Amino acid sequence: MTKPGQLIGGLLVPATLLLASCGAQVRVANDPVTLYKQGASADAVQARPAAANATSSQPVASLVSSTAATSARSAAASQAPTSHDTGSMAGTATNASPSPAASAAPAKQSVYDPVLQPATAGTVQHVTLTAKEGVQEIAPGVKYAVWTFNGTAPGPVIHVKQGDTVEFTLKNEGTMQHSIDFHAAETPWNLNYKSINPGETLSFSFKADHPGAFMYHCGTAPAMMHIADGMYGAIIVDPATPLPAAKEYMLVQSEFYTKPSATKGILDGDYTKMQNGRPDYVVFNGVANHYTGGNALVADPGRRIRLWVVNAGPNDFSAFHVVGAILDKVYPDGNPANVLSGMQTYTVPPGGGAMVELTIPNEGWYPVVSHSFADASKGAMAMIKVGNPPAAAGGH
């Protein structure tokens, strides 16, 4: 039987419509995490085109009956343990928070480390990024042919201090041209952001004069495709005056646009979807609904939390919101000179960033979402676990 709040064809059907169609009210556990995961499942994504093309005159009961099996498979897929196919980034970039290598146990999914590691001492930072292709699981059971820096999408978090000199090297170990674009740098585009061929390297240096949360990405044409296929990451520049102590996390929002590839079981990027702004997945740190359950972000009641946010896009704006909390301070682009107070939601544009500070006084679960709920339902959702609450349930 279809239940209120159930995902039908990748869409969250209002309970009132379902009640009108079946006439019998069914009380179910209201589990927002499960609902979000259902919306980002492989079956839900595959069902979206059919749901979008359904005529407005089609009875809801008909839609329910024709997609009930898909929804059931979606729920099952969202719970199934799967392996993660990304490679290790350890040792390939200075001050990086890497996604670990795939576990030897097939049922164990690796998690991109969201904890912002401290910037390294010294005033000269040596950073190497390697462009390469690979395969990454972007949702349970969904494998995507990614183009990456250092083997994962996003690439490693680069963490430096205001005034540091960054000695940078790009290596191209891929099969096509690639390049780099640091939003934190002031450097000639025609000299240092040029594309290089497979097997080539490019080196240059820049001074990190401006503090903040910045994006880096491949800018080789078409840049939208290189970004959407995984060639992006974050560079954090600490301000000269140290920030107050906090529990710090890094979240990079991005989108995946998918189509079947010639390799069975692996998806490719769909450039037409990219051009039309129709993502199949919107994610934090490369995986839909990445930080839920045992992977939730953790914090203590009453302790300051600092969320560094970068929106890699390439198309959607992030309506960054923490359910059940107020954003005490928001610093646009992560610069302490820019400050907003008492915010409910903050918009981060593609290619932009923010530093968000909040203190949550009460133990519990607090969803982090893009309040553009089409994107939240496609995977732009995480959880902050404050204290030691019981398993997440309830809420909306």
Look up residue 380 and give its amino acid: A
Cα separation, 383 vs 368, whole angstroms: 6
Q: What is the pLDDT, as a whole number, of residue 391?
A: 86
- Please report the domains of the chain, with CATH numbers, ordered by start residue: 7-79 (no CATH), 274-386 (2.60.40.420)
What is the token pair recorded at 206?
């820049």
Q: What is the pLDDT, as a whole number, of residue 110?
A: 67
To which residue do tokens 């990086």 refer? 96
Q: What is the pLDDT, as a whole number, of residue 56?
A: 37
Please name the residues in contact with 197: beta carbons below 8 A apart, sequence gap of 6 or more. 172, 177
Per-residue pLDDT of the chain (396 residues; tens, 9 = 90+): 444 444 434 434 333 333 233 333 333 344 545 544 555 566 656 655 554 454 333 332 222 223 333 333 233 333 333 322 222 333 334 444 333 333 223 333 468 999 999 998 999 999 999 999 999 999 999 999 999 999 999 999 999 999 999 999 999 999 999 999 999 999 999 999 999 999 999 999 999 999 999 999 999 999 999 999 999 999 999 999 999 999 999 999 999 999 999 999 999 999 999 999 999 999 999 999 999 999 999 999 999 999 999 999 999 999 999 999 999 999 999 999 999 999 999 999 999 999 999 999 999 999 999 999 999 999 999 999 999 999 866 666
What is the token pair recorded at 37?
């995961």
Q: What is the pLDDT, as a whole number, of residue 395?
A: 63
- Inter-residue contact 2 to 8 (CB < 8 Å): yes
With CA atoms as reference, report the closest residue to 356 among 322, 380, 323, 387.
322
With CA atoms as reference, report the closest residue to 254 among 185, 177, 345, 155.
155
Q: Maximum CA pair distance of the chain?
A: 68
DSSP state of 295: G
Which residues on neighbouring strands pair with residue 357, listed in sequence order? 306, 329
Q: What is the pLDDT, as a whole number, of residue 99?
A: 34
The verdict on whether omega for the bond into residue 242 sits within 30 degrees of 0, i.e. cis, is no
Q: What is the pLDDT, as a whole number, of residue 344?
A: 98
Helix (H) or strand (E) holding 214: strand 212-217
In 251-379, which ranges are continuous DSSP H helix? 271-276, 373-376
Cα separation, 280 vs 334, whole angstroms: 28
Grouping H, G, I as helix, E, B as strand and the rest as coil, residue 216 is strand
DSSP state of 110: P
- Inter-residue contact 145 to 173 (CB < 8 Å): no
By DSSP bridging, strand 142-149 and strand 266-269 are parallel
What is the token pair recorded at 217?
């990405």
What is the token pair recorded at 354?
């923010």
Please name the residues in contact with 219: beta carbons below 8 A apart, sequence gap of 6 or more. 179, 180, 181, 193, 195, 226
φ/ψ of residue 303, rounded to 5: -100, 140
Q: What is the pLDDT, as a whole number, of residue 111?
A: 83
Adjacency order of strands within the sheet including 364-370: 297-299, 381-386, 364-370, 318-322, 345-348
